[in-house]
Amino acid sequence: MRDSESSRRSSSPHGDGGPLFRAAEPPARPHVWDVAALVHAVADALGARFGAVAVRGELSGYGRAPSGHCYFTLKDAEGTAALRCAMFRRAAALLDFAPEEGDLVEVRGRLAVYEPRGELQFVVESMRHAGAGTLYERFLRLKVQLEAEGLFDARRKRPISLHPRGIALVTSLAAAALHDVVSALQRRAPHVPIVICPSPVQGGEAPALLARAIAAAGCCDRIDTLLVCRGGGSLEDLWPFNEAAVVRAIAASTLPVIVGVGHETDVTLADFAADLRAPTPTAAAELAALPREDALAELHGRDARLKRSIAQRLDAQAQRLDRLALRLARPAQALAPLRQRLALLEARLRSVPQTHLGRQRQRGEALTTRLSQALQQEGERRRRHALVLAARLQALDPRRVLARGYAWLSDESGRALGSVRQVEAGAVLQAQLVDGRVQARVSAIEPDEPLA
């Protein structure tokens, strides 16, 4: 290191003892990030750059948590790179196969940052065996398209009436879901009428007919809730409820919609557009109306509260009526306080002039005293001022100056003299002294030297 340093010295252009290096300007201080802000910025950059990507790799460490979320690692074929992945419960419910260790899969999703640990992870929205799963791809494309249209926005969800006047049901007349829903409604709320709008729920013509039946249900009178139901099946069987026409019809319905399609693990695009999703058709019926027993219990409770309120109101009015009757029976008692108040006001009215005159008299005396004192003070002040002026005038009297030995000189015309240049030899001058005048003739003039 010393040799290299000496070589730098010898090769320096400043070999005559000058500086080895030219001083550089200090670098600008970099922006200091907060940890959370930096992690947020990285997450935003990843989201903007890798919003939707597909990755192929081998599964490693695949596991499903009790919450339903799945966590695993994707590795390349050589094992030289790995990517942490997370698949949340809703996406995991769409899997049509059981992933195993070492499977070659293709996942689609987005890159994100797990902020509590600052780790890169891949949020998986779909998974398929490499080279298969085209239906899932179509499902995801439709989901992205319809979500971009705002059909899945949570802000457009409407509340479900707990006491509907009527319920419309869209399903197939041959479906087992029809029997399950009707049985559940008749058991829970037999007083609520049901309007059935039949439609095929499977096959190529099902989407258009389902959309037509949903629109027709919205035109029914005295209907507050619409149920769209179907039993379980494969993804292909449930596909009509993923078609854009059905999803748009549910979103455009004038009635709040409850969708109960398939079993609890089945998810369709109709579930996202509905105002409420039910795991099964029977559960949809249970969410549509309260049980008759609960409604009757609530009705009885309201009846009891209404009776108590009416009784309390009647008791209060009866007591008020009794008090008014007592006051009306003895009017003299009501007039006595008024008479006392009238007498008090009369006494106060009589005493007002005397009191006012007394106050005015006292005020006049006080003002007279204050005026007399003010005149005396002003006279004394003016007297002291006159004495001060007289003393000042006396101090300025020129005779006091003449009394100290000075004289006032003037020529024969009476002009005051202040300089020897105004006097000539032989001139007659008058000198005013303190007790008389003296005439003098100038015999000589001796001017003083001017001051420096």
- Whether the predicted pLDDT of 225 surpasses 90: yes
In a domain, 425, yes or no: yes
Does 193 map to a domain? Answer: yes
Are residues 302 and 235 both part of a single domain?
Answer: no
Q: CB neighbours (10 Å) of residue 195? A: 16
CATH for 222:
3.40.50.10550
Closest of 106, 304, 58, 261 to residue 169, by C-alpha: 261
Residue 68 forms part of a structural domain: yes
Choose the final residue of a domain: 271, 290, 309. Answer: 290
Q: What is the pLDDT of residues 188-219, one digit of tens each?
A: 889 899 999 999 998 889 999 999 999 999 89
In terms of residue numbers, what domain contains 298? Answer: 292-326
One domain, residues 124 and 52? yes
* Pairwise CA distance, residues 274 & 203, whole Å: 22
Give pLDDT tens digits for 282-304. 999 999 988 888 878 888 889 99
> Does residue 146 form part of some domain?
no
Number of domains into which the chain is organized: 4
Task: Check if the beta carbon of residue 250 is closer than 8 Å to that of residue 274.
Answer: yes
CB 226 within 8 A of CB 257: yes
Q: What are phi and psi of 64, to 5 degrees?
A: -115, 125
What CATH number corresponds to the domain at position 122? 2.40.50.140
Considering the domain boundaries, does residue 384 fall inside one?
no
Residue 109 shares a structural domain with residue 176: no
Residue 10's pLDDT band, with cuts at 50, 70 and 90, is very low
Residues 224 and 275 in one domain: yes
Q: Hey, which residues does 167 pair with through a beta bridge?
A: 194, 225
Residue 314: its pLDDT value, please?
Answer: 92
On whether residue 358 sits in a domain, the answer given is: no
> Would the pLDDT of 446 be above 50?
yes
At 135, the pLDDT band (50, 70, 90 cuts) reads low
Q: What is the DSSP letter of 39?
A: H
pTM score, whole prediction: 0.44
Residue-wise pLDDT tens digits, 320-363:
888 887 777 666 776 778 888 888 888 888 777 777 778 888 88
3-state SS assignment for residue 232: coil
